[in-house]
């Protein structure tokens, strides 16, 4: 089936065009398989279309450049097939039968020929994935090979390929194409997370939550780690932070681990899409059973591990439980202690947790929390608004840790022996009836408060200085936290917000309001008397 042409085949699709086209593609599969399955089918095809578009664009650039230099068609051929001419420009090498034009021509399958049997389109797509991996080692373990399975309708798959012909990722250079693909990929991850409901939270953390962690920690260089990395959103957002501050994205070395095989592959593809080299280990695996980065210390850890896991791989003699053995029925403090075990001297971390982690005393968790506080590892506690996670109604918070809170590279203000509490429960806006998000200003308010408290370079350059804000932020000593039985709930410490001063003296306001209240009592008594009288006439 030949590809359909747009009016201007060289023009890149707009973001709206891509989203509309690709979501229509998802509609074709909806009903024939569940969201967790068609997610992998769609995202794999999106990636295949992108690499083909980028390859063809680079190929035309080479042709144009060499033709202008006087090369003949005969001289062009070997240079057009020089792999280095592509990889040196951040373009994946795509073998001939892995290119989209080839797949589009055979969207109904490849007829039997030269003694070879007929191949359906699913076989061709799986072979294309193998060829891509073979030519581009960074894609090893990233691409799905699921297109020739019994549960994939081959007729619909061919229709998908035909539909995808109208999508074009290139036309503005490799970096712009990659940005466009990255945005589309993140859009799809979010859409699929919503479609999958509760399970979607296993691979997708809401962008505003991820941005909050990144903006507070400000990862600029060194090793960054996520022990439950999902689809890799923490790493992608860290790269965006570097780009926004005009810094080299290669200054961060990425390390991650993921338990779920399909999610691990999503993460590898996500990193490839964004041009990031990351060490997600050679295989997926349980972080508690075996730390696949055991000998590596991290400068930053950002994570949204699964909340309140009751069935987890627990060994009481695990050296990671330095501050106490976590209970068998809840892994929250196991995640926290694993993350702390990974931090290098001077390292910092941000971890999303269920709100219960801030005050629970069950299973020895209260004693562990006390040890963490006394070790002066807790830097900041942030209570987040409800409904940020569509997949769960559990209220969440963020624990921020710092191995060293003294004045130094991470901040000019010595905050040893103190914890910053931020109550952000009133921030955010409703995206729809079921989901809330933090606005840019909300994220900035949280991050700026922390940076001002710590005296970071960004705060100093912005002229920010810290002061407690009743109802929102307060710096609290370890002694005061101990007096509160080591509870770390921000609402316990920040107090109530100050009432607005309307200019009316408090004594006069009390007297006025008292008189208004008595007047309403009198009016209520009068109306009661009238009603009783009217009812008496009816009897």
- Return the number of other C-beta atoms located less than 10 Å from residue 463's C-beta: 7
Per-residue confidence (pLDDT) for residue 442, from 0 to 100: 97
> Taking 50 as the threshold, does the pLDDT of residue 5 lie above it?
no
| Cβ pair 174, 54 in contact under 8 A | yes
Q: Is 130 helix (H, G, I), strand (E, B) or coil?
A: helix
Question: For 430-450, what is the HEC assignment?
Answer: ECCCCCEECCHHHHHHHHHHH
Residue in 371, 201, 379 with CA at minimum distance from that of residue 301: 379
Q: 469: which residues sit within 8 A by CB, 6+ positions away?
A: 449, 494
- The strands making up 298-303's β-sheet, listed across from edge to edge, are 278-279, 252-256, 222-226, 298-303, 343-354, 396-402, 378-383, 418-423, 473-477
Cα–Cα distance between 382 and 375 in angstroms, integer? Answer: 19
Q: pLDDT for 11-39, tens place per residue?
A: 555 667 766 766 676 666 666 666 566 77
Within 13 Å, how many C-alpha atoms sit on residue 19's CB side?
Answer: 14
| CB within 8 Å of 450: residues ≥ 6 apart | 216, 380, 400, 420, 422
DSSP summary character for residue 30: B
* CB-count burial class (<10 Å; 0-12, 13-18, 19+) for 315: exposed
pLDDT given at position 75: 84
Task: Give the position of tokens 């994220």.
Answer: 443
**Residue 342 belongs to what H/E stretch?**
helix 332-342
421, 490 contact by CB (below 8 A):
yes
E strands present in 117-156: none
Length of the chain: 539
The pLDDT > 70 percentage for the chain reads 86
CA separation for the pair 452, 207 (Å, rounded): 24
Q: How far apart are the first and last CA of the chain?
A: 87
Assigned CATH for 203-494: 3.40.50.150
Q: Which tokens in the block code for residue 38?
A: 């068609």
Structure tokens at 359: 């005050």
Instruction: Look at 475 and 88; give whichever has higher pLDDT.
Output: 475
Is residue 353 within a helix (H) or strand (E), and if so which, with residue range? strand 343-354
* CA distance to 326, 452, 489, 490, 504, per residue, from 376 (Å): 19, 19, 17, 17, 44
pLDDT digit string, tens, across residues 104-156: 999 998 888 877 888 999 999 999 999 999 999 888 888 889 999 988 889 88
| pLDDT-derived band at 176, boundaries 50, 70, 90 | low
Residue pair 116/78 in contact (Cβ under 8 Å)? The answer is: no
Q: Tens of pLDDT along 227-243?
A: 999 888 899 899 989 98
Q: How many other C-beta atoms lie within 10 A of the C-beta of residue 329?
A: 13
Rounded CA-CA distance 390/386 in Å is 10
- Give the residue from 173, 257, 184 showing the smallest Cα distance to 25: 184
Contacts of 526 (CB under 8 A, 6+ apart): none
Q: Are 475 and 415 in contact (CB under 8 A)?
A: yes
- Most confident by average pLDDT, 47-56, 159-168, 242-251, 322-331: 322-331
What does 510-524 look like in DSSP terms, one character per residue? HHHHHHHHHHHHHHH
Per-residue pLDDT tens for 454-501?
999 999 999 999 999 999 999 999 999 999 999 999 999 998 876 666
The reported pLDDT for the residue numbered 346 is: 94
Can you tell me whether residue 281 is helix, strand or coil? coil
pTM of the model: 0.81
Tokens representing 393?
């109604």
* pLDDT surpassing 60 at residue 539: yes
- Helix (H) / strand (E) containing 300: strand 298-303
- In the chain, domain spans: 15-189, 203-494
Q: What is the mean pLDDT of residues 505-526?
A: 85
Tens digit of each residue's pLDDT (9 = 90 or more) over 409-428: 889 999 999 999 999 999 99
Q: What mean pLDDT do residues 296-324 have?
A: 95
Compute the mean pLDDT over every residue in the chain, rounded to the nearest whole number. Answer: 87
What is each CA distance from 93 to 50, 87, 128, 534, in whole angstroms? 12, 7, 12, 90
CATH says 15-189 is which class?
mainly alpha
- Measured distance CA(91)–CA(98) in Å, rounded: 14
């Amino acid at each position: 089936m030949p590809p359909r042409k747009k009016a201007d085949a060289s023009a890149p699709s707009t973001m709206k065009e891509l989203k509309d086209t690709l979501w229509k593609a998802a509609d074709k599969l909806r009903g024939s398989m569940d969201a967790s399955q068609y997610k992998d089918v769609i995202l794999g095809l999106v990636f295949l279309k992108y690499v083909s578009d980028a390859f063809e664009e680079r190929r035309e650039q080479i042709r144009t450049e060499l033709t202008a230099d006087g090369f003949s068609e005969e001289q062009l051929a070997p240079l057009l097939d020089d792999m280095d001419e592509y990889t040196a420009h951040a373009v994946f090498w795509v073998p001939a039968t892995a290119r989209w034009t080839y797949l589009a021509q055979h969207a109904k399958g490849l007829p039997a020929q030269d003694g070879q049997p007929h191949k359906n389109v699913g076989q061709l797509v799986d072979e294309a994935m193998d060829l891509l991996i073979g030519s581009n080692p960074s894609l090893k373990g990233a691409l799905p090979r699921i297109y020739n399975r019994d549960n994939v309708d081959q007729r619909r798959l061919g229709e998908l390929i035909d539909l995808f012909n109208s999508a074009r990722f290139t036309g503005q250079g490799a970096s712009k194409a990659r940005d466009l693909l990255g945005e589309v990929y993140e859009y799809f991850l979010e859409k699929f997370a919503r479609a999958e409901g509760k399970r979607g939270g296993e691979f997708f953390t809401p962008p505003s939550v991820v941005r909050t962690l990144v903006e507070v920690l400000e990862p600029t260089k060194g090793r960054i780690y996520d022990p439950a990395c999902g689809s890799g959103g923490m790493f992608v957002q860290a790269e965006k932070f570097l780009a926004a501050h005009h810094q080299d994205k290669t200054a961060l070395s990425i390390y991650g681990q993921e338990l779920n095989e399909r999610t691990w592959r999503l993460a590898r593809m996500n990193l490839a899409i964004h041009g990031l080299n990351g060490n997600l280990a050679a295989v997926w695996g349980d972080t508690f059973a075996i730390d696949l980065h055991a000998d590596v210390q991290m400068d930053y850890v950002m994570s949204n591990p699964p909340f309140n896991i009751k069935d987890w791989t627990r060994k009481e003699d695990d050296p990671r439980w330095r501050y106490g053995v976590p209970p068998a029925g809840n892994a929250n403090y196991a995640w926290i202690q694993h993350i702390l075990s990974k931090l290098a001297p001077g390292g910092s971390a941000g971890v999303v947790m269920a709100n219960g982690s801030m005050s629970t005393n069950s299973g020895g968790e209260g004693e562990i929390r006390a040890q963490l506080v006394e070790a002066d590892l807790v830097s900041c506690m942030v209570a987040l608004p409800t409904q940020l996670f569509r997949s769960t109604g559990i209220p969440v918070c963020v624990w921020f840790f710092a191995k060293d809170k003294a004045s130094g590279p991470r901040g000019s203000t010595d905050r040893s022996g103190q914890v910053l509490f931020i109550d952000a429960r009133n921030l955010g806006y409703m995206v729809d009836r079921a989901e809330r998000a933090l606005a840019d200003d909300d994220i900035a308010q949280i991050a700026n408060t922390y940076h001002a408290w710590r005296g970071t370079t960004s705060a100093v350059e912005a002229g920010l200085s810290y002061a407690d804000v009743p109802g929102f932020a307060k710096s609290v000593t370890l002694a005061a936290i101990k007096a509160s039985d080591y509870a770390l709930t921000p609402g316990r410490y920040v107090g109530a917000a100050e009432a607005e001063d309307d200019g009316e003296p408090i004594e006069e306001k009390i007297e006025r309001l008292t008189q208004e209240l008595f007047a309403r009592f009198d009016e209520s008594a009068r109306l009661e008397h009238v009603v009783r009288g009217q009812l008496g006439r009816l009897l």
